[in-house]
Amino acid sequence: MLTRREFIRTAALFALAPGILAEREREIWVNDVHSQLNRTRVRELLVPRTRDELAEIVRSASQKGLPISLSGCRHSMGGQQFGTDSICIDTRSLDRVISFDQQRGLIEAEPGIQWPKLIRTYLAAQQEAQSNGVSRKNKPAPTHSRSAGVSRPTCTDAD
Ligand SMILES: Cc1cc2nc3c(=O)[nH]c(=O)nc-3n(C[C@H](O)[C@H](O)[C@H](O)COP(=O)(O)OP(=O)(O)OC[C@H]3O[C@@H](n4cnc5c(N)ncnc54)[C@H](O)[C@@H]3O)c2cc1C
């Protein structure tokens, strides 16, 4: 559930969006990291930190009939991450590992997780398992619910 503070933060950000749009100097522009050829104006750039915040943003956008676009590390060069005048959701703060099934070698993670954190978490879990006398030799099979695909080879935590 959203805490009161989280709810107010998200709701306030979202409610302010039309006002922000009205001021030209406050327009929000986003672009991809590599080519910088996809400069796009978005209506709002929101960074949910929990699944509840994300759900609230989606619900609010739906109620207002506003389009949504999703971005991760912005490494794709075709501008797929951005929709003109959309509510752009930066998913990178949704980066928690939810579960790690050691028996099946499956990691479930939030959709904004990046490879470095995923690998670090896996290695830490593997080391812990080994120190408990359990050893796995097969490779991890990370699962993401994100549609960007599971490959983010060029992303770092600093992106
Ligand atoms: C120079 C270069 C080299 C590359 N090399 C490789 C390579 O070697 N191997 C490889 O596999 N790929 C490679 N790619 C492709 C790129 O790494 C993939 O497109 C990468 O997965 C994009 O991830 P991102 O987080 O930057 O997504 P973004 O560029 O931010 O978004 C890409 C798409 O995914 C959607 N999306 C993003 N985040 C989410 C989310 N959390 N939930 C749902 N949808 C989301 C966006 O809406 C968009 O449609 C390369 C790209 C470039 C530009």
Residue 43 sits in the same domain as residue 69? yes
Q: At what angle do helices 4-22 and 51-64 cross, to 10 degrees?
A: 40
Per-residue pLDDT tens digits for 85-108:
999 999 999 999 999 988 898 999
Do 70 and 82 touch, CB atoms closer than 8 A?
no
pLDDT for 82 beyond 50: yes
Question: Which residues neighbour 136 within 8 Å (Cβ) at sequence distance 6 or greater?
Answer: 102, 105, 126, 129
* 7-16, 47-56, 78-87, 134-143: range with lowest mean pLDDT: 134-143
- pTM confidence score: 0.77
Residue 73 sits in the same domain as residue 48? yes
* 67-71, 86-90, 127-131, 143-147: range with lowest mean pLDDT: 143-147
CA of 39 to the centre of ligand 1 (A): 17
Q: Which residue has the higher pLDDT, 57 or 147?
A: 57
**Eight-class DSSP state of 141:** E
* 105 DSSP β-pair partners: none
Task: Answer yes or no: is the C-beta of 147 below 6 A from any ligand 1 atom.
Answer: yes
Closest CA to 77 of 37, 112, 29, 42: 37
Residue 44 sits in the same domain as residue 82? yes
Mean pLDDT confidence for 59-76: 97
Residue 111 sits in the same domain as residue 145? yes
Mutation probe of ligand 1 site: the residue of 114, 154, 157 with most atoms within 8 A of C-beta = 154
* 53-57, 72-76, 109-113, 140-144: range with lowest mean pLDDT: 140-144
Tell me which long-range contacts 121-128 makes (C-beta under 8 A, separation of at least 24): 121/97, 125/100
Task: Ligand 1, residue 76: give the atom nearest the CA.
Answer: 29
Task: Answer yes or no: is the C-beta of 148 below 6 A from any ligand 1 atom.
Answer: yes
Does a structural domain hold residue 149?
yes
- Domain of 48 in residue numbering reads as 22-90
**pLDDT value of residue 158:** 46
CA of 152 to the centre of ligand 1 (A): 6
Count of domains forming the chain: 2
CATH number for the domain that contains residue 51? 3.30.43.10
Q: Token digits for 109?
A: 């993670």
Does a structural domain hold residue 77?
yes
